[in-house]
Amino acid sequence: MPRNDFQLQTTGNGGQERVLVFASDFSTSEGDRWLLDDIVDGFVSQGAHVDVLAFDNKRPRPRGVSERNGGRVRVISVGPEKTPKGSVAKILSRLHSALLMHTTAYGVLKREKYDVAVFTSIAATAAAVPGRLRRSGAVKNLVFVLWDFFPVHQIEIGRLPSNRLVKSLRWLEYFSFATADRVAVMSPANERFFRAYFPSYRGKTLILPPWAQTDEPSAADVSKAPVFTAVFGGQLVKGRGVETILKAAEILESRDVELEIMIAGDGVLRETMEGMAASLKLRSVKFLGSIPRPEYRRLLKTAHVGIAATVTGVSVPAFPSKIVEYCRASIPVVACLDPASDAGDVLLEYGAGVVLSAGDANMLADALERLSSDLTSGRLTDLSQAARKLFDDRLSSTHAARTILSTTATT
């Protein structure tokens, strides 16, 4: 049970590594897991003790300390106990959480000793507390996981306006992670872009793709859909390339190709995308909305391929995290990628899918038609096995945890 205070019981590590994770998204139930839940379990699987500083303002939970994993994980929550309503309340809630991070939580954590601490983009959301703990000596090795080049990516895909004020947020982001010993980027192209975008950073970098919860290979009791099925899972917002998927569906229907395309996710563009599908009179596309993670993962295991799509006209190399979930479910990936992205390189290296140009509906339609034929010929089985091997080798939370923990040996 949670304790509504911030007292930590003294923990001797007994030679085991101690990890601190800063989490702006962290679960309150098994059906609401996030990437940081997965990496925490990965650290535990490697024998580490983990403390999680949760400043999650979207999932109310009691403030104070609670335990998981038989006491190997302690969650220190500074987030709200009730969901804030309205813009002003949300801003005040975030400010209150930041204040607690710098006062009560910092006062407790600075007395601890961590081999490594991990925080993720957008770095500014951690309110500079990771760097402060690093300077205090409580943290031996600080790792910043960069998933999102803020704000340039948001500007390029149209989610933020392109003006001086927004562009200046680049420097707020830089100063929020500048004290990190290492920055983990998703691919070699991300590393090159990072060095050009933040030339003042003098620390080390490491390659760490997105990850997902380690599990056993797909369960045999989950049957594949009777019709060739492609899944797109993700937010329906700008920069996701859903328009290309709908146009490809129109082409395939005109060719009388039998298939279904499941779109799982929600967002501000859902109504627009559903309207586009209706105007194209698409019969093969179904919008499922946001579904719980366990249900989504079961859906993936019934599908035959997963679609990852980006948009053109961007300079930031994308690595869609949905690729990881597809490989976890042992389904090949159809990746429609912008020229800046090198995410397709690892797919081609493993033979785990096909790589196409972003925004090309005809190319996507051709690829899906070929893959539906591969289902009949049996070739899709080889692609599925390759996708799972890619996950096991490079995309699991166990691999991510090992990669981060390995940095403690070279600090």
C-beta separation of 43 from 71 below 8 A:
no
Region 47-52 average pLDDT: 96
**238 confidence band (pLDDT: 50, 70, 90):** confident
370 has a pLDDT exceeding 90: yes
Region 237-265 average pLDDT: 93
**105 confidence band (pLDDT: 50, 70, 90):** very high
Share of the chain above pLDDT 90, in %: 71
Between CA 247 and CA 261 the distance in angstroms is 12
**pLDDT for 9-39, tens place per residue?**
655 555 589 999 999 999 887 667 888 999 9
How far CA 160 is from CA of 167, 197, 235, 239, 325, in Å, comes to: 10, 18, 16, 12, 28
**pLDDT for 268-280, tens place per residue?**
899 999 999 999 9
312 has a pLDDT exceeding 60: yes
**pLDDT the model gives residue 16:** 84
In this predicted model, which residue has the larger pLDDT, 183 or 79? 183
Question: Is the omega angle on the peptide bond into residue 122 within 30 degrees of 0, that is, cis?
Answer: yes
Nearest to residue 117, comparing CAs of 13, 53, 21, 40?
21
**217 confidence band (pLDDT: 50, 70, 90):** low
**pLDDT for 161-179, tens place per residue?**
888 898 889 999 999 999 9
**59 confidence band (pLDDT: 50, 70, 90):** confident
Which domains occur in the chain, in start order?
18-211+397-409 (3.40.50.2000), 229-395 (3.40.50.2000)
219 has a pLDDT exceeding 60: no
With left for phi above 0 and alpha for psi between -120 and 50, is residue 357 left, alpha or beta? beta
**pLDDT for 33-44, tens place per residue?**
888 999 999 999
pTM: 0.90
Between CA 7 and CA 104 the distance in angstroms is 10
Region 117-134 average pLDDT: 95
401 has a pLDDT exceeding 90: yes
Spatial strand order in the sheet of 229-233: 285-289, 260-264, 229-233, 305-309, 333-337, 353-357
**216 confidence band (pLDDT: 50, 70, 90):** low
**pLDDT the model gives residue 1:** 43
Between CA 329 and CA 231 the distance in angstroms is 12
**pLDDT for 340-363, tens place per residue?**
999 999 999 999 999 999 999 999
DSSP state of 55: -
**pLDDT for 373-399, tens place per residue?**
888 777 899 999 999 999 999 999 999
C-beta separation of 130 from 140 below 8 A:
no
**pLDDT the model gives residue 402:** 96
